[in-house]
Amino acid sequence: MATSYSSLFHSSLASTSLTHKHKHLHCNPKLAFPRRRYPAVVSCSASSDHHSSSSTAAAAAAATKFRRPSDENIREEARRHRSSANTTFSAKYVPFNAGPDSPEWYSLDEIVYRSRSGGLLDVQHDMEALKKFDGAYWRDLFDSRVGKTTWPYGSGVWSKKEWVLPEIDPDDIVSAFEGNSNLFWAERFGKEFLGMSDLWVKHCGISHTGSFKDLGMTVLVSQVNRLRKMKRPVVGVGCASTADSRGYSVGCASTGDTSAALSAYCASAGIPSIVFLPANKISIAQLVQPIANGAFVLSIDTDFDGCMKLIREVTAELPIYLANSLNSLRLEGQKTAAIEILQQFDWEVPDWVIVPGGNLGNIYAFYKGFKMCEELGLVDRIPRLVCAQAANANPLYLHYKSGWKDFKPVRANTTFASAIQIGDPVSIDRAVYALQNSNGIVEEATEEELMDAMAQADSTGMFICPHTGVALTALIKLRQSGVIGPMDRTVVVSTAHGLKFTQSKVDYHSKAILDMACRFANPPVEVKADFGAVMDTLKTYLGNKSF
Ligand SMILES: Cc1ncc(COP(=O)(O)O)c(C=O)c1O
Ligand SMILES: N[C@@H](CCOP(=O)(O)O)C(=O)O
């Protein structure tokens, strides 16, 4: 189960003081830059762009080598190349799923997490402005930015800046060049366990803080950085207090990954962060991340849903900016993982994308990323989405099985997939929308199923987290029932790095889990430091093995 850190760590946690000391611009893009050529913002994307006038290959090579003066950093270089074309596009908050006639909207520079009716918000882009450029233009633009260090496009998120936060000044962006995560061809796993040849794992967890949360957090913390520079006071929904812009911090409730990302990005920008963690319900690796990054860490004797309730109450009273995915800014970054998948397939659309779900922001983020690509002509359809939940924390699954009748939160039980131990997901409406509009499916995984799937995947060269085990279980079930075919191109989204969850692997491989057969356990063999003993052991092993 999720590591009980009380014995290992809680004593030091207790004894140590962890207190760390709209406008919407519309301009004619033809005036800004000619069609089919990169806009000025793009000209920052590749060093060769700056030197296209070089007449010889040698000059071009030299120019590439010295693309900026030695006393200039990449931010300054970006500033030198910047133009007003940055403001061609715009975005605003609108009530989630509001019709086109809804008059309610907010500037992204306002601090607002909920609509007037108390519903969720969404970031709505000026699609008409984006549509002035065709799909081929956007595909080429995004492709041109991959693998560069040009600020801020070296990031997989900010390489899609026009679709994310179009109006933010690159100077305000806080980025670890996140995204561009590898899409792993799961050749052996697909072939041996599922008879599939086109199975892929999108490793969003191979990232700065080890989870997909980095994709959203770079956007949220960048916007906070901008607001602080603008000296915008934080006035939360229902918040009585205002504060000097320099005086507020950013906070979240977390099952361990949001807190890690928040604290890292805040630390990088020098912004104070506060994290509410459910005591003894996250892994040690996750716990130590915000501690190391200097966040103010509250270990609270409740579960994630309890922490979420508390942070919502607290952010309504204190000048603390809410960093959970209730804040729709986060999803703008997370949606770029969907765009990346299409990009990695050369803009061919996979048949299925399977995403583990907890607070349920990410499944909507994927939907939104795919949908924008369809609407803007980069692709002609979207994949079918599957949301996978742990059976011990399965409110969405129950809702789906009831035919989307009344949604009822559940009390989430302990699960090895501790980051999705959530019973009352804030983004339930977003998830239902995403699934209904993508011909989607919800599946669940028991503890034994998810741990076996994780062990099987690891045995084929991956090192995944239990949440990815949940997603793989959904795939196994849908293959077995024939819903997913052997030739279907399928992407399983891996949401966190396996190294954050080593205790669950240790428990599994030492067969130390009550009522679990641990069928794929591979425990180490203890051998005396003696040549004969080692030889005997190896001969037995080699004799039993069919390679
Ligand atoms: C590792 C991991 N996987 C999956 C999820 C689920 O994402 P979401 O809450 O957006 O559904 C989370 C967080 O909730 C997570 O930390
Ligand atoms: N798994 C999450 C839970 C909170 O989700 P969020 O996307 O709403 O921040 C975590 O790591 O905390």
Does residue 357 have its Cβ closer than 6 Å to ligand 1? yes
Which residues does residue 497 pair with via DSSP β-bridges, in sequence order?
A: 464
pLDDT for 234: 63
Cα-based distances in Å from 494 to 15, 213, 356: 36, 12, 8
Q: Three-state DSSP class for 320?
A: strand
The full DSSP string for 266-304 is HHHHT--EEEEEETT-S-HHHHHHHHHTT-EEEEESS-H
pLDDT for 100: 85
| CA–CA distance, 280 with 254 (Å, rounded to integer) | 12
Per DSSP, the chain holds a count of helices (H) and strands (E) of 23, 13
Kindly give the distance from the C-alpha atom of residue 257 to the centroid of ligand 2, in angstroms, as a whole number: 6
pLDDT for 6: 34
Kindly give the distance from the C-alpha atom of residue 9 to the centroid of ligand 2, in angstroms, as a whole number: 22
Closest CA to 282 of 261, 260, 264, 265: 260
pTM of the predicted structure, to 2 decimals: 0.88
Question: How buried is 112 (Cβ within 10 angstroms: 0-12 exposed, 13-18 middle, 19+ buried)?
Answer: middle
- Give the residue carrying structure tokens 């919800």: 442
Residues 467, 496 contacting (CB under 8 angstroms) = yes
- Residue among 324, 428, 493 to mutate when testing ligand 2 (max atoms within 8 A of CB): 324
Cα-based distances in Å from 201 to 165, 280, 322: 27, 30, 31
pLDDT for 99: 87
Q: Three-state DSSP class for 252?
A: strand
Does residue 358 have its Cβ closer than 6 Å to ligand 2? yes
pLDDT for 126: 97
Does residue 418 have its Cβ closer than 6 Å to ligand 2? no
Does residue 361 have its Cβ closer than 6 Å to ligand 1? yes
Q: Which amino acid is at 87?
A: T
Q: Which atom of ligand 2 is nearest to the CA of 326?
A: 8
Give the pair of three-digit tokens for residue 136.
């081929």
- Any idea which ligand is nearest the CA of 262? 2
| CA–CA distance, 101 with 479 (Å, rounded to integer) | 43
Number of other CB atoms surrounding residue 398 within 10 Å: 16
| CA–CA distance, 490 with 192 (Å, rounded to integer) | 15
pLDDT for 83: 64
pLDDT for 66: 66
Helix boundaries (H) for 345-391? 361-375
Q: Indicate the helix (H) or strand (E) that contains 137.
A: helix 135-144
Does residue 264 have its Cβ closer than 6 Å to ligand 1? no
Does residue 2 have its Cβ closer than 6 Å to ligand 1? no
pLDDT for 247: 60
Encode pLDDT of 263-283 as tens digits: 999 999 999 999 999 999 999
Q: Which atom of ligand 2 is nearest to the CA of 422?
A: 3
Helix boundaries (H) for 34-97? 47-50, 57-65, 74-81
- Residue among 206, 207, 209, 212 to mutate when testing ligand 1 (max atoms within 8 A of CB): 212
Does residue 257 have its Cβ closer than 6 Å to ligand 2? yes
Which residue ranges in the chain fall short of pLDDT 70?
Answer: 1-66, 83-87, 234-247, 547
pLDDT for 321: 94
The total number of residues written for the chain in this structure: 547
| CA–CA distance, 387 with 115 (Å, rounded to integer) | 26
- Any idea which ligand is nearest the CA of 363? 1
Give the pair of three-digit tokens for residue 224.
């906070």
ipTM above 0.90, yes or no: yes
Q: Which atom of ligand 1 is nearest to the CA of 213?
A: 16
Residues 496, 205 contacting (CB under 8 angstroms) = yes
| CA–CA distance, 19 with 83 (Å, rounded to integer) | 42
Residues 363, 387 contacting (CB under 8 angstroms) = yes
- Helix/strand/coil (H/E/C) assignment for every residue in 139-160: HHHHHHCCCCCCCCCCCCCHHH
Does residue 166 have its Cβ closer than 6 Å to ligand 2? no
- Give the residue carrying structure tokens 């607070």: 359
